[in-house]
Amino acid sequence: MAKRAKPSGDFKHWPLWSNSQFWSFIRSGLRSKWSRYPVKFQVLNAAKRKALLNPRAKWEYQCDVCKTWSLQKDVEVDHLIPCGTLRSYEDLPQFVERLFCGAEHLRTVCKQCHKIITKEERSKDD
């Protein structure tokens, strides 16, 4: 039988996980629910038009940053105010509030722009 790790940090009821494993699990679950958040689809619908560039596609979406048109598989919905970290119970209310925000705090961006934006935000945190 494997020896159980000593409980650590905030989540003492599941000693097999470290704090970071537990909060990663919670963050992943919340982001999974956000993928079906109705406001996200309102933002996407506001940025779409009938496809002109690809005859096989039905819709194209405009990036709010570079203004290019892309297929849905090439766009993402970005938070104008980053959700922040989720490393403790104290972070939970603010993270959830920012994650499930209104349409006025979201924008449609192409994957290339989103990658640049995310990299810049993460470099500020370091």
Which pTM was predicted?
0.81
Lowest pLDDT segment from 26-30, 73-77, 87-91, 100-104? 87-91
Q: Left, alpha or beta for 84 (phi > 0: left; psi -120 to 50: alpha)?
A: left
91: enclosing H helix or E strand: none
What span, in angstroms and rounded, lies between the C-alpha atoms of 104 and 39?
10
Band the pLDDT of 1: cuts 50, 70, 90. very low
